[in-house]
Amino acid sequence: MYKLEKAELMREVKDYIYITLGLISYSLGWAAFLLPYQITTGGTTGIGAIIYYATGFPIQWSYFIINAVLMTFAIRMLGPRFSIKTTYAIFMLTFLLWLFQLIVNNYIVAPDMTPDGKPLLLGPGQDFMACIIGAAMCGVGLGITFNYNGSTGGTDIIAAIVNKYKDVSLGRMIMICDVVIISSCYFIFHDWRRVIFGFVTLFIIGVVLDWIINSARQSVQFLIFSKKYDEIADHIIKDTNRGVTVLDGTGWYSKGNVKVLVVLAKKRQSLDIFRMVKRIDPNAFISQSSVIGVYGEGFDKLK
């Protein structure tokens, strides 16, 4: 019982550490690349950015106020654990947006400045490069945050709710929710170029987000044929913490009985399993195949 509680606590701590790292990437992308070049994207951060461009009201406070309202309505649907992590992410991102804007504006020496004295890290005329770098950092940050059961709030909350009940890509759902937000920046700048930059940013974030999430969830299936099946099975369970199923088979050529190990594992564990099998039985026969969706204990939850 104590070991289970300790393992659960360590998983929670790990989640919060990675969520924080994701939020750092996300907020730095905004503060260093998107805000200085007046690039807008979706979500409540995008709404906050539009308010900031129009009035000068700090983006972090708009973000916080909007999400505080959304969370009061969404907390029951997302469940207590997700809601606690989302609340943590909202507070942390509010702080990080403020912190990185302070660092970028006051402590980073850049070759060029905006008309209001804000540093441009890439220099003037580099809007598209800033769009790519900022969007990539935001996408990576969102992907890490989602992978560890967190959210940055806003349209992420809506996307998470839909993803919980429907098999809809998170990146695609966020993209649908955010089209109106990006289009509205035209009424601030009266410049379709800004709108296009916003959609490019949104597209890059969606692609990077899906890539991060799908990479983390890729799974593989092994069929292992070996006379030392019992030793291999014991080591897989002990060293990779993955379950093993033993099937009875018949080799049709030899007409002999064989044991087949069936193993489902994360793709990143493939090399460890290959090395383990080779070390125990160099003559083992192994088949590896990619699988689309593995649900249950140790993998994704069955929705």
Q: CA 52, CA 155: separation in Å to the nearest integer?
A: 19
Q: Which pLDDT does position 19 carry in this prediction?
A: 93
Q: Which pLDDT does position 126 carry in this prediction?
A: 86
Give CA torsion, residues 57, 60, 62, 65, to 10 deg: -140
pTM over 0.75: no
| Domain locations in the chain as residue ranges | 1-215, 217-289
Q: Which pLDDT does position 42 carry in this prediction?
A: 82
Q: Which pLDDT does position 61 carry in this prediction?
A: 93
Q: Which pLDDT does position 216 carry in this prediction?
A: 66
**Taking Cα atoms as reference points, which of 50, 62, 197 lies closest to residue 126?**
197
- Are the C-beta atoms of 188 and 53 separated by less than 8 Å? yes
Q: Which pLDDT does position 29 carry in this prediction?
A: 94
Q: Which pLDDT does position 302 carry in this prediction?
A: 58
**Taking Cα atoms as reference points, which of 181, 142, 136 lies closest to residue 163?**
142
User: Quick one: 73 exposed, middle or buried, by C-beta within 10 A (0-12, 13-18, 19+)?
Assistant: exposed
Count CB neighbours of 257 within 10 A: 9
* pLDDT tens per residue across span 231-264: 999 989 888 888 899 999 888 888 888 899 999 8
Q: CA 284, CA 52: separation in Å to the nearest integer?
A: 63
For 125, the token pair is 């005329």
Weakly modelled stretches of the chain, pLDDT under 50: 1, 4
Q: Which pLDDT does position 94 carry in this prediction?
A: 94
CATH class (in words) of the domain with range 217-289: alpha beta
